[in-house]
Amino acid sequence: MDILVLILIVPFVFGAIMFMMPLHFKVLQNTHILLSVIVSAILLSAVRKVVEGNELSFFHHYLFLDSLGAIFLSLIAITGLLVNIYATTYMKWELEEGHISLQEVKNYFALSFIFTWTMSLSVICNNIAFMWAAIEATTLASVFLVAVKKDKKSTESGYKYIVLCSIGLAFALYATILLFSAGNGKVEGEAMLYTNLLAHAENIDGMALKLVFIFALIGFGTKAGLAPTHTWLPDVHAEGPAPTSALLSGVLLKCAMLGLIRYYAIVANGVGFDFVQTVMLVSATLTLFVASFFLIRQHNVKRMFAYHSIAHMGVIAFGLGVGGAIGLFAALFHCAAHSFTKALAFCSTGNIAKIYGTKDMTKMGGMIRIAPLTAVLFGIAICSLVGVPGFAIFVSEFLIFKAAAIEGQYLLMGIFALALAIIFIADFSHFFLATFGKVEGQVVHNKEMKLSENLPLIALAILIVSFGIWQFDSFTLLLNESVKTIMKQ
């Protein structure tokens, strides 16, 4: 059976199986881990085929997997698997503390497979309308991963999530329709296919393409958390369970960004890179400074990381804005680096909330003595987020500086450095507040989590450091091939 068909079927079937499982936590936990491993193995085997030089295609090229898609599919596989394993621990704690029922745990596990299914689908769609439908479906599949409980805050976060993302994505659908009608008759083959549109982008009317990109930026930018349409993100990421926030920030935002990158490639090759780069730079600068400003004021650890997600989407947009082969390489690398880092950051907030019974960092302190491993993992996430050398995010941020320097864009370098400096100061002050000194509030779980419970977090930390100091040939190959595809070299 074609591997793309397996991607299309297996996660959905697993979601249905989870819905039918008996209400027994151990059974649910083990099944969830086993099925997550199988899904990730399927996704990674598809990625391996692409690394080996095959471009996968199925159903009249409506589904395909190129190097660009393979990068994002590997994020779903790796980050998704580790977060799903951590989710079983987190849900056990929630169950023990009576915050959630067994039925809700079962629904959560089942929906996380449906969510994985929609995200994988959005990555492998060559038909731009299918891609839009899949990205919209990611919202629908994840609403009840966010609004797990039925209280006021949970309901409010679910409401804001679906309403704001649906409005935003409606503009992306208009972009899709307009791109199809502008490309119809101008491109060889079906004008709904991304590969056809990219191959013949120069034949499509320039004015239409510019309008398409603005609509796509509003639409996918809303979902990706770019300012000024980012307002749903802090509320949703802060309110959802820690594994949900990790999945949303670590994987989902990247899927929306992939949608935008595909439009970026088509429009850039149709009207020239100057237009898309300028638009992305405006959006990125706004996003970086809005996020930095709000980041300073946050004391809720999850809300702080939510604003970080916005800031780092700004970094990716900045890389796309600076452009050139290095800028694009950096933007794509940042997608992976941020995925691992943010998954670790949000999962560590799960541990932190268990220790202190609160997300308010002013009521923490002394974590290094209470739970040294969690403190170190939290520290690794923070170090990577602020771009400390030796951690994954440093690589992409350094490359963005390099790309700007090569282009002689010193003003951009200054703007980027200023935004990163604000983030650096805000983060470390928050980190010290929670980790060192004396405990300001109460400690409800006065010990470290079990090693087995921390294993997914340790794996994420290893990935962050590995990507910071090591060059993985197969991953670099995917990045280089993707840059060539975008630049049509």
Task: Give me the residues that bind another protein (CB under 8 A), please.
Answer: 62, 127, 129-130, 132-133, 136-137, 140, 143-144, 147, 150-153, 155-160, 162-163, 166-167, 170, 173-174, 177-178, 180-182, 184, 190, 192, 205, 207-208, 211, 234-235, 238-239, 298, 300, 303
Distance CA 268, CA 159 (A): 35
Q: Which two tokens stand for residue 35?
A: 């099925």
29 or 126, CB closer to another protein? 126
Closest to another protein by CB, 165 or 265: 165
Neighbouring residues of 183: CB distance < 8 A, sequence distance ≥ 6: 191, 196, 197, 200, 203, 204
Q: For residues 31 and 292, which CB has a smaller minimum distance to another protein in the complex?
A: 292
Sign of CA pseudo-dihedral 225, 76, 331, 177:
negative
Nearest CA to 224 out of 197, 265, 199, 261 is that of 261
Smallest gap from Cβ 184 to another protein, in A, equals: 7
Please check whether residue 482 is in contact with residue 63, taking contact to mean a CB–CB distance below 8 angstroms. no
Apex 249 CA angle, 246 and 252, nearest 5? 110
At its nearest, how many Å lie between another protein and the CB of residue 297? 8
Least distance CB 222 / another protein (angstroms): 12
Q: In the complex, what is the shortest distance from the CB of residue 63 to another protein, in angstroms, rounded to a whole number?
A: 11
Closer by beta carbon to another protein, 130 or else 356? 130
Residue 5 or 34 having the CB closest to another protein: 5
Q: Name which of 300 and 485 has its Cβ closer to another protein.
A: 300
- Beta-carbon-side half-sphere exposure of residue 404 (alpha carbons within 13 Å): 24
Q: In terms of CB distance, is 223 or 338 closer to another protein?
A: 223
Dihedral angle sign, alpha carbons of residues 473, 479, 482, 484: negative
The residue among 16 and 163 lying less far from another protein, judged by its C-beta, is 163
Q: Supply the minimum distance, in Å, between the C-beta of residue 179 and another protein.
A: 9
Between 133 and 296, CB nearer to another protein: 133
Report in angstroms how near the CB of residue 103 gets to another protein at its nearest: 15
Which residue, 25 or 174, has its beta carbon nearer to another protein? 174
Instruction: Supply the minimum distance, in Å, between the C-beta of residue 165 and another protein.
Output: 10
Rounded CA Rg of the chain: 21
- Nearest Cα to Cα of residue 320 among 309, 310, 311, 329: 329
Taken in order 442, 444, 450, 453, the sign of the CA dihedral is negative
- Shortest Å, Cβ 447 to another protein: 31
Angle at which helices 301-322 and 253-271 pack, to 10 degrees?
20
Q: Which tokens go with 257?
A: 């960004």
Report the sign of the C-alpha dihedral through residues 251, 253, 258, 259, in that order.
positive
Q: How far is the CB of 301 from another protein (least distance, A)?
A: 13
Nearest distance from residue 437's CB to another protein, in Å? 24
Residue placing its CB nearer to another protein in the complex, 171 or 475: 171
Residues 6+ apart with CB under 8 A from 409: 322
Q: Tell me how far, at minimum, the Cβ of 196 lies from another protein, in Å.
A: 13
Query: Closer to another protein at the Cβ: 173 or 392?
Result: 173
Amino acid at site 478: L
Shortest distance (Å) from residue 180 CB to another protein? 5
